[in-house]
Amino acid sequence: MHREENGKHLKAKEEMRRGKNVHRLSRGYSESYQQVINRLGINYVKHVNK
């Protein structure tokens, strides 16, 4: 019984850690995505202005 409760607690901690990692990943991803869009936009403008 006690061991099962402990297992649930560990699982909850694991889920929290995974959630944080996912959040960090998605934030980093959106930042890099933003950079790519900016770079593409700049290249596109340069191309059009030629």
pLDDT recorded at residue 30: 84
Q: Is pLDDT at 42 greater than 70 in this prediction?
A: yes
- Average pLDDT over the chain reads 82
Q: Is pLDDT at 50 greater than 80 in this prediction?
A: no
Measured CA to CA in angstroms, residue 29 lies from 11, 19, 33 at distances of: 26, 15, 6
Q: What is the mean pLDDT of residues 11-20?
A: 85
Domain residue extents for the chain: 1-50
Measure the CA–CA gap between 24 and 27, rounded to whole angstroms: 5
Q: Is pLDDT at 5 greater than 70 in this prediction?
A: yes
Global pTM?
0.39
pLDDT recorded at residue 43: 82
Q: Report angle CA 44, 33, 48 to the nearest 5 degrees.
A: 5
